[in-house]
A and B are shown apart, each in its own frame.
Chain A
Amino acid sequence: MKQTHLILIFIFSFLNCLSQERYTVSGFVQDFNSGESLIGVSIYESKSFKGTSTNQYGFYSLTLDKGEYEIVYSFIGYKTITKKITLDKNIRTNISLKTDAILTKEVIVEGERLDKNVASSNMSQVKLKVESVKELPVILGEVDVLKSAQLLPGIQSGGEGNSGLYVRGGGPDQNLILLDEAVVYNAAHLFGFFSVFNADAIKDMNIIKGGMPAEYGGRLSSVIDITMKDGNNKRFQADGGIGLLSSRLTLQGPIQKEKSSFIVSGRRTYIDVLAQPFMNEENAFSGSGYYFYDLTTKVNYKLSDKNRLYLSGYFGRDVFDFINSDNGIGISIPWGNATTSLRWNHLFNDKLFVNTSVIFTDYRFQFNIAQSDFEFKIYTGINDWNTKVDFLYQPNQRNTIRFGSNYTYHKFIPGNATGRSGEVEFAPDEVYTQYSNEGAIYFSNDVELTDEIKAHLGLRYSSFQYKGNITFREYIKSDLTGENDNYRNIEPRASLRYRINTNNSIKMAFTQNYQYIHLASLSSLSLPADLWVPSSNDIKPKFSTQYALGYFKNFNENMYETSVEAYYKEITNLIEYKEGVLPEDNTNTNSDDAFVFGDGDSYGVELLIKKNKGKTTGWIGYTLSKTTKYFDNVNNGKPFPAKYDRRHDLSITASHKLNDKWTLSTVFVYATGNSITLPTERYVIGGDVYTEYTSRNGYKMPPYHRLDIGATFKPKPKRKYESSWNFSIYNVYSRKNPYFIYFALESDENSGNIQNGNITPKAYQVSIFPILPSVTWNFSF
């Protein structure tokens, strides 16, 4: 019955736009200098402020009544263009925006229409501009877009140096992280200290932490939608940087001027290279080391005014080698992601845009150990073939309709182990592999019902088939016939804006999401060895329902933007490993019997105060929240707090443009400590002492806080090149933030065995990052 109502609302929403004579102005918006398509450019009619914004490919479509208009094209850091048009027929206008020299003195952070947070029906969404992220203080010289996202209210970090995101009580596997539409399964380098995204190659990052639109699915908590740069299609350009930890280089340029372009961006750490001189060949650990690298590349080709092709790829690896020649042990642990996206944009007409994508993504982890004539290898991974079609239909300025489909063929290798002892090989007859098919169709409409009321109404139908390696045709057939190994679900998505006046609005959102694949982890962090496992007969899909209510107000001609959002989220079918079960128990087989299942809930209030214009910009974000889990078989069935249950989470960022050359910035964060499980008792078995844990996550670590400061110096650009220096001090007052607490049983003979003497249990708090200054030199020519 409820679904019928929704359908009626969709239909009703069209009726108010069928009676008058209307025409459409549409086109693409790009950067004048580089030809890079611009995402989120505001396009609106100057009197009524009715408008739209460019999509992920720079396309816009605005339908108005017949008449004469001034159309405004406005975007961060660019000169606003006002174009007079006579709309008596459909008009195609491609716009190139020039960067604005005046704006270099006075920064505007907002990338879209300045009142968008009040005017839009979306809530719980943030767009982060990479250029403004680059001016914030950084750790060890590495600009990290995911770490910057952690500074937003409702998004929590996993802890010191951890680039994982914990959104409104959700775990790291509940975030859909997309790079040019390809899912990135493990977004961390160096065990989470850095994200896999090279900021030089990123154009835009859109973060959705609630009110997820219907075109996104497969995860419960958030979407991190990252778009790579297309590449300069007007001239060759090289950018790079030399930092303490890594160096990077980006090359881009036209393949065929103003028609096609490429970009290649790579970076590599060099801790291993710098350490080599200190490890001569006689050193037992010679050959040990760690490095990561990633390569991001993209080409695009403008086939015609109506057709564009994009091919983008990412390849990144972390490699950890440990060698001890004293005992002949050699360990090698490589892991990483690879993605490829082929996309075709087609413009059917001025109102209907379609993107068709074919995407491959792969994540793999390998652990190899060898000693003498013994070898052991374990390999886990997941790879997907994904194809999707997304339509954008803008019949008038009151309706923006999106519909499409998405199909993913998953291949899981949950834990394939092989070994060798002497001449004897241990290998399964065949690699154990799990297959599944995940599909979805969706429809949504952003509809302006009245001048005050705007709604996003969406429905997503998703299905998941998990029994064996079947063809797409068989999958569709099994879905239609309702065979019992399919999960089929409807996911309603709705948000509503009531605009009180120009500067005030109230919004509410209701979303339901299903997640069919799960990250199984024995760790409290997201580590590369964690397994992705599919839903099955025993492992039910996770399901969440989220309600959100928000009040949005702008001051002083949108110079100050404020919001307060409250949310409540329920999740069912969370998974944890059973007590005593280890991932290796399911080597070369499925993990279905390895888990216990439970529920969770999270609620909180998020405050944001943001200054968008002026020499000083920045924001203050504060979250008050509580996240609880309920498992019958964990913690004796009693509710327990989630690891990242943070009562308070505060972040303050500020950037001040001192003059043409210097920009100063600062970040301050404060967060309630993580919840951890501590031992309450101990006992003796075989003369050794063992610990017993009773209350899951029952102890709060001390609060986390730190202050970072940074300065960016941009000398006057030379004729052929320009450069900048970024100076950062991380953790200025060297706060010893707790990274973890561990226990040691210390005895007279430094052993935990009671027979060796008196034992004193001690607790130690470990902190990893004291004050850390860094400098990075960036160049461009």
Chain B
Amino acid sequence: MKRILFIIILFTSCQEEITLELDQARDKLVVEGSIEPGFPPYVILTKNQGYFSKIDTNTYSNLFVKDAIITVSYTENNVTEVIELTTEVTDLLGSDTIVIYTVKLDEYDFINGLDNYSFSKIGRTYNLNIFWRGDSITAQTTIPEPTPLDSIWVEKSEFGEFDFESEIRAWYSDPAGIRNNLLTKTKLVSYSENDSSECKSIDKEDIFLQLLDCGTDILIDGESFEFPIPKLDNGFPIGNYRASHYEECENGDSILISKEIVLIKFCQINEESMRFWRGVVRQAGFNSNPFTEPLNLPSNIDGGLGIWTGFSPIYYKVPIVQDTTIFYQYDPKFEDIL
């Protein structure tokens, strides 16, 4: 409701750009760390900026911290296992800007390796330690039990303007009596755009998974029900997926636009992580909204910002073909989990 009120006022009021002199920002490290069963953990480390500091692709690349010492450890039966994360994989993944810390190249097959990295297991608690220029940053997270979807399928969108507009829907049975924290990420691993002037279809894919939603099972505890998995449209989960269809070009010809293929990461996370990722979903719509107090993302990083999350995901790869059901979970590669 607060968002609705905010939008109404923006449409009915007058506004002008103003210049503000804000307090100086203190330098902090920002952690985006992830660990999930069968895969080596990875960390992206950046620096914060002053709010009005310039940010473009050049300054963006300068935000990444490349010279930190990072370790991840867990203790089981009084035995502690520690691994070190380095940035060796960054070039291998072809990222020219984003710096990723993970295990060394000789410790895991990043090209072909599937979920066989035994360090990362369900139920374990992992400590993250980062040392950078005299500062020490720590965090802790746990990988909870996963809860798969019962089924997932594609059907024609009820409210879509065109026949090819489709919805992904799923059936989920929530375990009763346990506080589950659910997080869903998606990305289009294949989609096409129409270059109408050239009358050709251009194939594309998203690089990273994007957060779709995050929350608790407080209302759905123990229930079994159907729900939609919408497409992100400019950051908002309100879009329809597109099945293959023909589109008209400027010259009057038609061109076949391929179906979209969607990778879905459906996860359980612990409560601390849920609060952070739910804050990420909310901050886009609520911050600067006068009807809410400003909300900082609740971090579990001691000495910095960001989050160290233990994900317990199930992956599904869904080609957008109406009236089809996906029967199998998808086995991702390392590049799929990012």
Contacts and interface: CB of A to CB of B under 8 A. Distances in A.
A768 B208 contact: no
A426 B51 contact: no
Interface stretch (B18-26, B86-94, B250-258): B18-26
Contacts of A587: 218-219
Contacts of B30: 683-685
Interface residues of A, number: 83
A756 to B, nearest CB: 10
Interface in B218-232: 218-220, 223-228
Nearest to B278: A582
A739 interface: yes
Contacts of A694: 23, 26
A764 B4 contact: no
Which of A372, A682, A692 lies at the interface centre, i.e. has the most chain B CB atoms within 10 A of its CB? Answer: A692
Nearest to A678: B22
B24 A743 contact: no
Interface string A420-464: 011010100000000000000000000000000000000000000
Interface stretch (B7-15, B129-137, B260-268): B7-15
A762 B20 CA distance: 9
A758 B291 contact: no
Contacts of B235: 688, 751-753
B22 A522 contact: no
B297 to A, nearest CB: 6
A765 B51 contact: no
B292 interface: yes
A472 interface: no
B324 interface: no
B219 A417 contact: yes
A70 B207 CA distance: 94
Nearest to A685: B32
A689 B279 CA distance: 13
B107 interface: no
Interface stretch (A23-31, A84-92, A326-334): A326-334
A397 B256 CA distance: 96
Contact of B275 (A426, A580, A682, A762): A580
A699 interface: yes
Nearest to A694: B23
Contacts of B23: 680, 694-695, 698
17 contacts: A191-B5, A372-B159, A373-B226, A418-B219, A421-B226, A522-B293, A579-B296, A585-B216, A679-B51, A690-B297, A740-B289, A741-B20, A741-B288, A754-B55, A763-B17, A764-B15, A770-B14
Given A524-B293, A683-B306, A690-B297, A761 B4 contact: no
A758 B227 CA distance: 36
Given A522-B293, A523-B292, A754-B55, A678 B223 contact: no
Given A333-B1, A525-B291, A764 B46 contact: no
Interface in B1-55: 1-2, 4-5, 9-10, 12-20, 22-26, 28, 30, 32, 46-53, 55
Interface stretch (B56-64, B71-79, B312-320): B56-64
Interface of B: 1-2, 4-5, 9-10, 12-20, 22-26, 28, 30, 32, 46-53, 55-57, 60, 63, 158-159, 161, 207-208, 210-211, 215-216, 218-220, 223-228, 234-235, 238, 275-276, 278-280, 282-284, 287-298, 305-307
Given A524-B291, A736-B16, A742-B288, 16 more contacts: A419-B220, A524-B292, A579-B295, A680-B25, A682-B49, A683-B47, A686-B32, A686-B208, A688-B235, A691-B51, A692-B296, A739-B13, A740-B288, A753-B235, A761-B52, A764-B15
Shortest 8 CB-CB contacts between residues of A and residues of B:
A580-B298, A740-B290, A681-B25, A742-B288, A424-B225, A758-B56, A421-B225, A580-B275
B227 A421 contact: yes
B57 A758 contact: yes
Given A691-B51, A691-B287, A765-B16, A685 B280 contact: yes
Interface of A: 191, 320, 322, 325-328, 331, 333, 367, 372-374, 376, 417-419, 421-422, 424, 426, 522-525, 527-529, 577, 579-582, 584-585, 587-588, 677-695, 698-699, 736, 739-744, 751-755, 757-768, 770
B32 A682 contact: no
A591 to B, nearest CB: 13
B283 A691 contact: yes
B22 A579 contact: no
Given A333-B1, A753-B235, A680 B51 contact: yes
Given A527-B291, A690-B280, A684 B24 contact: no
B296 A426 contact: no
Most chain A CB atoms below 10 A, which of B49, B235, B293, B297: B293
A326 B159 contact: yes
Contacts of B53: 682
A191 B289 CA distance: 14
Nearest to B222: A426
A768 B13 contact: yes
Contacts of B159: 325-328, 372
A523 B291 contact: yes
Contact of A679 (B4, B289, B292, B294): B294
A588 B46 CA distance: 39
Contacts of B218: 417, 584-585, 587-588
A767 B14 contact: yes
Nearest to B304: A683
Contact of A426 (B13, B225, B234): B225
A580 B49 contact: no
B287 A743 contact: yes
A758 B13 contact: no
A348 B295 CA distance: 59
The residue in A374, A766, A770 that gathers the most chain B C-beta atoms within 10 A of its C-beta is A766
Given A328-B158, A523-B292, A736-B16, A766 B226 contact: no
Contacts of A376: 219
Contacts of A328: 158-159
Contact of A374 (B2, B52, B228, B293): B228
Contacts of A588: 218-219
Nearest to A422: B226
Given A421-B226, A525-B291, A681 B51 contact: yes
B48 A692 contact: yes
Contacts of B9: 739, 766, 768
Nearest to B287: A691
B280 to A, nearest CB: 7
Nearest to B215: A584
B15 A767 contact: yes
A684 B63 contact: yes
A331 B4 contact: yes
A677 B18 contact: no
A680 B22 contact: yes
Given A739-B290, A768-B12, A681 B26 contact: yes
A487 B129 CA distance: 47
Nearest to B27: A681
B219 A523 contact: no
B226 A424 contact: yes
Contacts of A690: 280, 283, 297
A685 B208 contact: no
A117 B259 CA distance: 80
Contacts of A426: 219-220, 223, 225
B225 A741 contact: no
B283 to A, nearest CB: 6
A587 B1 CA distance: 16
B296 A693 contact: yes
A333 B3 CA distance: 13
Contacts of A525: 290-291
